[in-house]
């Protein structure tokens, strides 16, 4: 998987190229899109998972449509930092996706993303149906925003060491 990279690799991407954030679930894939300056993540859509080939085709079509320069994929580590079955599933998805695209892929620690988004939606008094409809793409935006914020810090101070939030 030569296109699996560290986050600092994204500093060398072409200007005005967007990043796509992914929150991989068992039934859906939440997607979020960065702006062209790679400062703000916005929820995009949720893909209903079918089979890997169809999921990958839909994902790559969206990447082409939005001129995506790289993927930020949430890595669902356990709270103690260990890897469980969901991490194995995410890594398997990326192993299968990587040969289908030349775009760089980075993992981003997604611990607490769904919880944080759900709390925000509850605070906004969103109905259960509304929460279910938007939580995956909002979690993807939360994941992508974390990576974008880290990229901004790396870009302003390039010699800052990687922290534990970015995960290869």
According to the model, what pLDDT value does residue 165 have? Answer: 45
Tell me how many domains the chain contains.
1
CB atoms within 10 A of CB 15: 8
Give the pLDDT mean for 116-133: 66
Average pLDDT over the chain reads 86
According to the model, what pLDDT value does residue 11 have? Answer: 92
> Domain of 63: which CATH number?
3.30.420.140
- Residues of the domain holding 113: 7-167
Residue 1 lies in a domain: no
Phi, psi for 152 (deg, rounded to 5): -60, -40
Report pTM.
0.85
User: Does 49 score more than 90 pLDDT?
Assistant: yes
Residue 66 lies in a domain: yes
Give the pLDDT mean for 119-133: 66
Residue 2 lies in a domain: no
Residue 75 lies in a domain: yes
Residue 154 lies in a domain: yes
Residue 158 lies in a domain: yes
Residue 87 lies in a domain: yes
Q: What is the pLDDT of residues 17-26, one digit of tens each?
A: 999 999 998 9
Q: State the first-to-last Cα distance of the chain, in angstroms, to the nearest integer.
A: 12
Q: 67-89 as b/e, with b when 16 or more CB fall inside 10 Å?
A: ebbbbbbbbbbeeeeeeeebbee
Give the pLDDT mean for 150-164: 69
Give the pLDDT mean for 90-97: 96
């Amino acid at each position: 998987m030569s296109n699996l990279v560290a986050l600092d690799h994204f500093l060398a991407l072409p200007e005005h190229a967007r990043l796509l954030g992914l929150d991989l679930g068992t039934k859906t894939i939440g997607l979020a899109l960065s702006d062209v300056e790679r400062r703000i993540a916005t929820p995009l859509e949720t893909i209903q998972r079918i089979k890997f080939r169809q999921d990958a085709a839909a994902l790559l079509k969206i990447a082409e449509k939005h001129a995506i320069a790289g993927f930020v994929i949430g890595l669902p580590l356990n709270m103690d930092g260990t890897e469980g079955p969901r991490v194995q599933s995410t890594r398997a998805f990326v192993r299968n996706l990587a040969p289908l695209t030349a775009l760089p892929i980075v993992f981003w620690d997604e611990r607490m993303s769904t919880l944080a988004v759900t709390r925000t939606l509850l605070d906004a008094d969103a109905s259960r149906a509304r929460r279910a409809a938007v939580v995956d793409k909002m979690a993807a935006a939360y994941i992508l925003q974390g990576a974008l914020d880290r990229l901004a810090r790396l870009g302003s101070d390039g010699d800052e060491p990687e922290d534990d939030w970015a995960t290869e």
